[in-house]
Amino acid sequence: MATEIILPRVDMDMTTGQISRWFFKDGDRIEKGQPLFEIETDKAAMEIESSVSGILKQPAATGQSIAVGSIVGWIASIDEKFIAPVVSDHSPDIVHQLPTELDPLVRASEPVSIDTVTDHNALRATPLARQLGRLHAVDLKNISGTGPLGRVQGTDVSSYLEDLSVKPARANAIYTSDAPLHGTFLRQGEGDPLVLIHGFGSDLNSWRLLAQTLGNKRPIFAVDLPGHGQSPWRTYASIGAVVEAVVACLEVNKISMMHMIGHSLGAAVAAFATRSLQGSVKSLFLISPAGLGPDINSDFIDGFCRSRNESSLRSWMELLVADPLVLTDPLVRATAASRASGQVAATQKALADLAFVDGTQAFSIRPVLNRLSIPTRIVMGRADRIIPVQHMADLPGHVALHLLNGVGHMPHIEANELLARLIKDHMG
């Protein structure tokens, strides 16, 4: 019986993926462990290996958004007479069915031609290279790639910029820019939007799983903190300046009334933002918030900022969760790939130095919470190894607190469905 090829989750918050290319075409023989196809995410291009040997059958088309867990092809045994299984129309996560003229967008894809596999006219570039290209207005078609099959890599863009005597993207460089922070709607809907602010070392994509679980009623807008995701870095004098940059992003995107949700450092930013957005924030929901005590796991901050390869990153990232199995190999691999040039780590280190002076949380959100008159709720894992759970003591009486057993610093990932229920209840 043929083995299903499943689109894997290569990022903690990944709900859909896109196959950028197949290394084999329909009918090719494949050996176990050979690279089978490539997924390109916002963070990295990941090669997925074959789990078995056999003949590739009906690989899904490239360049389409596919739900995680979908069947994207089959590997049949050498002597097997392959017949594609019939897949129920009631399974939206499955992209393969027997061919039908009534639903050409969902049916099994046409066999991938050799021209598709070896098309050298299409631009191949890593996400980091594309980001640097946008940042410096560089046409990547003018750059010779040194990656597999001529893929343009971040180091290729750096070298190109150096040759032009333009500000290079060399390791440990920190970009300065007056450009606004990046923000986007993860979901459209009706009513006042949820505004989501991620924590240190993450980006707005970390909210996609929660956004999916919350459903399709209310719009959701997420912001990339400075030096994270697609937001540039410039010199900030204080956390207050970072808060104002977030407020400016909301103003640019014409968000006037909102429910604010933040995680970790982003939770502190969200709390402070309520002061600048007086009357515009209808409720505040804080997940593992910073700013309620002076101590923080400074070893994690320093170690995470230093790490470039998979093994070192995994050691530090495991501190974020109670169950290390949450951290899949593709997730760690993608995170390492996004930090390979050193530029991302350098900008995040700059923000860490601003927020956590001498390994100390150099700010407090308690005065803000004491004065809030809007519904406010805090959720934290009892197994948090980044921020001490003892910081949640002596909260103002009007602030609701939920402490979750068996959960670490990432409740929105580790207890996704529970968080969604609490958020819906919080907003009434």
Same domain, 142 and 14: no
Q: How confident is the model at residue 132 (pLDDT cuts 50, 70, 90)?
A: low
Flag whether 419 is in a domain.
Answer: yes
Q: Report yes or no on 388 lying in a domain.
A: yes
User: What is the rounded average pLDDT for all residues in the chain?
Assistant: 79
Do residues 277 and 406 share a domain? yes
For residues 187 and 257, state if they share a domain: yes
Q: Check whether residue 303 and residue 409 sit in a common domain.
A: yes
Q: Residue 193 domain-assigned?
A: yes
Residue type, 144: S
pLDDT band of 139, cuts 50, 70, 90? confident
Residue 173 lies in a domain: no
Residues 196/261, Cβ–Cβ less than 8 Å: yes
Q: Treating both helix axes as pointing N-terminal to C-terminal, what angle do 127-135 and 329-338 enclose, rounded to 10 degrees?
A: 30
Q: Are residues 108 and 132 in the same domain?
A: no
What backbone torsions phi and psi does residue 409 show, to the nearest 5 degrees? Answer: -80, -5
CA distance 289 to 383: 14
CA neighbor of 411 nearest in space, from 206, 183, 246: 206
Q: Residue 14 — very low, low, confident or very high, per pLDDT cuts 50/70/90?
A: low
pLDDT at 126: 67
Boundary (domain end) residue, out of 62, 85, 117: 117
Same domain assignment for residues 108 and 255: no
> In this structure, what CATH number is given to the domain that contains residue 138?
4.10.320.10
The predicted pLDDT at position 111 comes to: 31
User: Tens of pLDDT along 365-383?
Assistant: 999 999 899 999 999 999 9
- Does residue 412 share a domain with residue 263? yes
pLDDT of 94: 38
Which residue, among 112, 114, 127, has the nearest Cα to 42 in the 3D structure?
A: 127
Q: What is the pLDDT of residues 45-74, one digit of tens each?
A: 677 888 888 999 889 888 888 887 788 888
How far is 301 from 221, CA to CA, in rounded Å? 27
Single out the residue of 370, 248, 331 nearest to residue 44, CA to CA. Answer: 331
- Where is pLDDT greater, at 50 or 421? 421
Q: How many domains does the chain have?
A: 3
Closest CA to 195 of 203, 205, 206, 184: 184
78 or 384, higher pLDDT: 384
Residue 357 and residue 241 share a domain: yes
Same domain, 417 and 310: yes
pTM over 0.85: no
**Residue ranges making up the domain that contains 42:** 3-117
198/133 same-domain check = no
Q: Which whole number is the average pLDDT over 155-165?
A: 67
Q: Residue 138: inside a domain, yes or no?
A: yes
> How far apart are the C-alpha atoms of 229 and 158, rounded to whole Å?
18
Residue 82, domain CATH: 2.40.50.100
**Hey, which of 138-142, 309-313, 363-367 has the most confident mean pLDDT?**
363-367
Q: Helices (H) and strands (E) in the chain — how many of each?
A: 13, 15
In-domain check, residue 270: yes
Q: Is residue 155 part of a domain?
A: yes
Answer yes or no: do 234 and 152 share one domain: no
Same-domain status, 301 and 371: yes
Q: Does any domain span residue 122? A: no
Q: Tens of pLDDT along 104-117?
A: 222 223 333 323 33
